A and B are shown apart, each in its own frame.
Chain A
Amino acid sequence: MNYTGIRNNETIPISTIPELDYSSFLELNVFTLLNTAGSHCVSYFGFPWFDKIKLICCIAKDEQNSICISSSVIDMKQPLPSFSNYKLVFEKFEREIHENFGINYTDHPWLKPVRFPFNRFDKSSNIANYPFFKIESEELHEVGVGPIHAGIIEPGHFRFICNGEQILHLEIQLGYQHRGVEQLFLDKKKLLQRVVLAENIAGDSAAGHTVAFVNLWESLCKFQPGRDLQLSRTIALELERIAVHTGDLSGMCTDVAYQLGSAVYGRLRTPVINYFQKWCGNRLAKGLVRVGKNNYPITQTLADELLVLFEEYEKDFEEISEELFSLPSTLARFEKTGVVTTEQAALVGTVGMSARMSELKRDIRFSHPHDLYPELRHEPVLRNQGDVYSRGRIRKKEIDQSMGYIRELIQNLPSVEAADQLGNPIPNSFAISLVEGWRGEICHCAITGDNGDLIHYKIKDPSFHNWLAMALAVRNNEISDFPICNKSFDLSYCGHDL
């Protein structure tokens, strides 16, 4: 075997990951493993290994519920043939490896900076001198937007090349949000510090990233979470999905000037996030998910309140949704705007909702289920148009689905068990955790050293894959449709920049 097949949330000794020479490593991952629609790259990264770089590639096989891990050790000075030359899905992973360690690729389509991290290899490149793509023409003009945007959102720069009102090309430059999160996971030694870090990776996915971290850490420590822990985590993930999807529908209404929809969805989000506050003291679920313990078990009272909340929410939600998705003025803006075809989605390797709107069946809840998802037998919601309308409809359907799941889960509340003592992480191990956040697949990987402490921590937010899909979606659209395209994807800047 030239790779190791493992399950979601499994820990293995790092010595059991086969180490291949680079050309076999490329051959294996690009041609043998990545050969069906159900296989996709969930993470590919390098880290210092003695005086060389160890590359680890993780390809998920959705049909077999397994993740294939392989590795290769390379010399930093040796230029390499790129994976991206064959499969574009590796494009950003290799740019990151290049940016961090100075490894050169002989045939990468565009080795541009990813996020200008503080520990980048080439210190002479900085965020003010990003090499934008240019087209020489008297008819075309460029529009630069950001890093600071008109609304209250995170910073990022968008550079459009337009022909009149029409967008020919969009290049997205990120990195403004870089806080050095991955390094801080190594530097901050207390477990609580690391949990709080996970909560602050992306504020709209506090539950998503924290569940990924705690599942990973518990796996590293061989801790088996009880049913009440798994229940709380599953409900937190689904409730976060409902809250953010509702907020996004509000934002989409704002961007097509449907004021009523904006106000109604906006106020419908309030009781959902207030529920998080009743449950754990924070509107965005910070403080809720912890390693090896449950500070806030779901009580019968809390469960009953949730049912009442859904009953009230559903009435108004269905009413406004029926109106939104049948109103000619909104449909004119939603339909056939910002299209990503199935082929394009597969080419760039989109994940989560952005994949499902282009009929790509990618959903960790279905392919690599964790916590209580195996019992729910999740079937992903799919659309096939890949436009703004699809992204809106998927949100609506997923909210309905999530409410159904939560109702099912809280029918029988488990008794709260005294948790086992949490041990220490196993030394010299590799662990991976995949979680389907509301935005898509979140992947955390950890590697421990001789004394069991972290020597590398790798985070991948779904936005890492999906930003390129957004850049493709706006091509040939009017530049005035850019805000609605951007909002309908709602990708994370801080999750990307880390």
Chain B
Amino acid sequence: MFNNLKIVLHQGKQYIPDIATAQVPGIFRGRPVISTLNVDEAELVEICPTNAISGNPLSIDLGRCVFCGECALAYPDKIKFTTDYKIATNDRQKLIIAEGKDEPVDLNPELIRKEISSYFSGSLKLRQVCAGGDGSCEMELNACSNVNFDMGRFGIEFVASPRHADGVVITGPITSNMAQPLQICYDAIPEPKIIILAGTDAISGGIFEGSPALDRDFLRKYKIDLYVPGNPIHPLTFINGVLQLIRKRI
């Protein structure tokens, strides 16, 4: 007992006091900023492994970007990845960052269903379904609930059963072999319910886009309430995105 108390004491304070203003250490690749400098666009488009970069005008689609950073290394004066981790949104179009634009990515309030804030603003229980995810987004979703990020303080928790859940968080490009289990899980969640796509693989298929082993029909059937880009997602991206989504609105 005494030993355990000593250990607790030695940990000090580990939690991040303010989730919304926390700084990430080092050279995190978050929201990119593209300058209006003239460069060889065709070459930039060619560099990207997942066709996230489009030309004329140059833009990066964060829903397809795997954040490898090779474009910024090749053209450092054209593309810079900032440490702005708040890149989650409910509007798929807002994930496309055009050149000359340095504005935060946020949610489009008009697209948020009314029942979301009235039902979930104080408490949100989520069921996670990994459908071909490589385990990295899953680790970061677990990290959301650890003592550092402590998402539980906002009443947001992951639960074991879809029956207890208010929504589903999908990771991975959705394999054919997981298509049916995902559907069964979603159907078991009581209404009203939300869908969150966590990670580039879930949003667009990422590097797996076009693989014959995928079945993404599920996504064509329902409205997506939140897109959280990243490879993997950063816990701060996820938590801030969800908080924005369920915030009390008048």
Which residues does A use to contact B, with CB under 8 Å? 116-119, 127-128, 147-148, 150-155, 175-181, 183-184, 187-188, 190, 192-193, 195-197, 200-204, 206, 247, 260, 263-264, 266-267, 270, 274, 277-284, 286-287, 295, 315-316, 319-320, 323, 492-494, 497
Contact = CB atoms under 8 A, between A and B. Distances in A.
Contact of A155 (B7, B160, B178, B212): B178
A263 B150 CA distance: 11
A64 to B, nearest CB: 35
Contacts of B207: 184, 188, 193, 196-197, 200
A264 B181 CA distance: 34
Given A153-B138, A494-B134, 11 more contacts: A117-B213, A128-B180, A155-B181, A179-B213, A183-B213, A195-B49, A267-B148, A281-B26, A282-B29, A283-B234, A320-B7
Interface stretch (B36-44, B101-109, B139-147): B139-147
A278 B24 CA distance: 9
Contacts of B148: 267, 270
Contacts of A319: 6-7, 10
From A116, A147, A148, A187, name the one whose CB has the most chain B CB atoms within 10 angstroms.
Answer: A148
B13 to A, nearest CB: 11
B118 interface: no
Interface in B1-47: 3-4, 6-8, 10-11, 14, 24-29, 47
B139 A179 contact: no
Contact of A204 (B130, B135, B208): B135
B132 A281 contact: no
A227 to B, nearest CB: 22
A260 B185 CA distance: 32
Nearest to B24: A277
A147 B131 CA distance: 10
Nearest to A149: B160
B134 A180 contact: no
A88 to B, nearest CB: 26
B67 interface: yes
A315 B232 CA distance: 30
A282 B67 contact: yes
Contact of B29 (A153, A206, A281): A281
Contacts, number: 196
A494 B132 contact: yes
A151 B181 CA distance: 15
A117 B7 CA distance: 48
Interface string B38-81: 00000000010110000000000000001111100100000001
A193 B50 CA distance: 7
Given A155-B181, A274-B25, A286-B231, A266 B146 contact: yes
Contact of B211 (A177, A184, A195): A184
From A150, A151, A190, A203, name the one whose CB has the most chain B CB atoms within 10 angstroms.
Answer: A203
B46 to A, nearest CB: 8
Contacts of A201: 134
A195 B139 CA distance: 21
B142 A179 contact: no
Given A117-B213, A148-B185, A286-B68, A281 B81 contact: yes
B112 interface: no
Interface in B87-101: none
B244 interface: no
8 contacts: A128-B180, A177-B172, A179-B211, A192-B47, A195-B49, A267-B147, A284-B136, A316-B11
Top 6 nearest A-B pairs (CB, nearest first) are A203-B136, A278-B26, A180-B213, A150-B160, A203-B134, A203-B135
From B26, B29, B140, B160, name the one whose CB has the most chain A CB atoms within 10 angstroms.
Answer: B26
Contacts of B180: 128
A118 B176 contact: yes
Contacts of B234: 283
B29 to A, nearest CB: 5
Contacts of A176: 131-132, 175, 177-178, 181
Nearest to B72: A281
Nearest to B185: A148
B70 A192 contact: yes
Contacts of B232: 203, 283-284, 286
Interface of B: 3-4, 6-8, 10-11, 14, 24-29, 47, 49-50, 66-70, 73, 81, 128-143, 146-148, 158, 160-161, 172-173, 175-178, 180-181, 185, 201, 206-208, 210-214, 231-232, 234
Nearest to A154: B130
B211 A180 contact: yes
Contacts of B129: 148, 155
A308 to B, nearest CB: 13
B212 A119 contact: yes
Given A176-B178, A264-B7, A494-B134, A192 B68 contact: yes
Contacts of A180: 208, 211-214
Nearest to B206: A200
A179 B132 contact: yes
Contacts of B69: 281, 287, 295
Given A148-B181, A153-B138, A295 B11 contact: no
B27 A277 contact: yes
Nearest to B210: A187
Contact of A277 (B6, B28, B142, B143): B28
B161 to A, nearest CB: 8
Nearest to A295: B73
Nearest to B149: A270
A263 B28 CA distance: 25
A205 to B, nearest CB: 9
Nearest to A204: B135
Given A179-B213, A284-B232, A116 B142 contact: no
A41 to B, nearest CB: 25
Contacts of A196: 49-50, 66, 68, 207
Nearest to A193: B49
B135 A267 contact: no
Contacts of A263: 11, 146-147
Contacts of A155: 129-131, 178, 181
